Amino acid sequence: MFLARVEGSVVSTKKDPSMSGRKLLLLRPQLVDETDPTQFRQGKNTIVAVDSVGAGEGEMVLFCQGSSARLAPQMKSLPVDAVIIGIVDAVDVQGKQIFNAKS
């Protein structure tokens, strides 16, 4: 599993029929900064993921990729490589909270 922030959405009117009705979100991975573990640094890439939990722009989410993505409910037969599987409430690193969705 990985952490990411939802940066936006992706609209695709022409796609594989099995993907019809699936919400696609654009994610930016979040990494704990090696030089200052009390904060995140943004990953350099972006990822398009299927939303299985009702996430929205600006939220911190958990996502999985590859064969693990197809283990999420209703994803087994879909051509997906990344699925959002959770919305993050808080992240603690070395005993310090570095993210809280409420603040």
- Amino acid code (one letter) for 57: E
Chain segment 2-20, per-residue pLDDT in tens: 999 999 999 999 999 989 8
- Structure confidence at residue 69 (pLDDT): 80
Q: Does the pLDDT at position 29 exceed 80?
A: yes
Cα of 63 vs its chain's centroid, Å: 4
Which tokens sit at 66? 């590859």
Q: Does the pLDDT at position 25 exceed 80?
A: yes
**Where are the chain's structural domains?**
1-10+20-31+42-62
Tell me if 101 sits within 8 A of 95, measured CB to CB: no
CATH annotation of 1-10+20-31+42-62 = 2.40.50.220
3-state secondary structure of 21: coil
- Structure confidence at residue 75 (pLDDT): 73
- Structure confidence at residue 74 (pLDDT): 77
Chain segment 34-93, per-residue pLDDT in tens: 999 999 999 999 999 999 999 999 999 999 998 788 777 777 788 888 999 999 999 999
